[in-house]
């Protein structure tokens, strides 16, 4: 079983460029109680998650509604697409996640991705 608890930073996101996106690099934090929150690219997201075997399902997920630069909005669009459909999750090691659904994404465990230095 994949241990999702903690904060994960996107390192690859199909259809979006992440290089040089330090302030708008998407991340997700999974709480053990089925809550998820993070940054989609421009806007904050919050919702629920459920893991059933290798299938990860989000929802409902809500977000703030700010506009941003085109590259950050592209990242956000792809993250929201990913969160909108069930995905297959795998963890090649304890610090890497691969999410495969309508969009493919790679994430790494990063407790500081949310900007909290603690």
Answer yes or no: pTM beyond 0.85: yes
Q: Is 1 inside a domain boundary?
A: no
Domain count for the chain? 1
pLDDT tens digits for range 44-77: 999 999 999 999 999 999 999 999 999 999 999 9
How many angstroms separate the Cα of 9 from the Cα of each of 43, 52, 65, 110? Answer: 15, 22, 21, 6
CATH number at residue 73: 2.40.128.270
pLDDT tens digits for range 18-27: 986 666 799 9
Q: Residue 115's pLDDT band (boundaries 50, 70, 90)?
A: confident
Q: Is 13 inside a domain boundary?
A: yes
Q: What is the pLDDT of residue 21?
A: 61
Residue 106 has phi, psi (to 5 degrees) of -120, 140
Mean pLDDT of the chain: 92
Supply the Cα-derived Rg of the chain in whole angstroms.
Answer: 13
Contacts (Cβ under 8 Å, ≥6 apart) of 93: none
SS3 83: helix
Looking at the DSSP assignment, which residues form a beta bridge with residue 46?
A: 37, 62
Looking at the DSSP assignment, which residues form a beta bridge with residue 16?
A: 13
Q: Is 59 inside a domain boundary?
A: yes
Let me know if 112 is exposed, middle or buried by CB neighbors in 10 A (0-12, 13-18, 19+).
exposed
Enclosing H/E stretch for 112: none
Q: Is 20 inside a domain boundary?
A: yes
């Amino acid at each position: 079983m994949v241990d999702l608890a903690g904060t994960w930073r996107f390192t690859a996101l199909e259809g979006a460029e992440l290089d040089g996106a330090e302030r708008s690099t998407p991340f997700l934090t999974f709480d053990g109680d089925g809550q998820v929150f993070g940054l989609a690219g421009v806007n904050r997201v919050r919702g629920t998650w459920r893991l059933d075997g290798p299938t990860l399902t989000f929802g409902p997920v809500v977000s703030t509604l700010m506009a941003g630069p085109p590259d950050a909005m592209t990242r956000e669009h792809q993250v929201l697409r990913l969160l909108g459909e069930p995905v297959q999750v795998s963890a090649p090691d304890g610090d890497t996640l691969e999410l495969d659904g309508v969009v493919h994404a790679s994430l790494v465990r990063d407790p500081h991705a949310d900007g909290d230095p603690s």
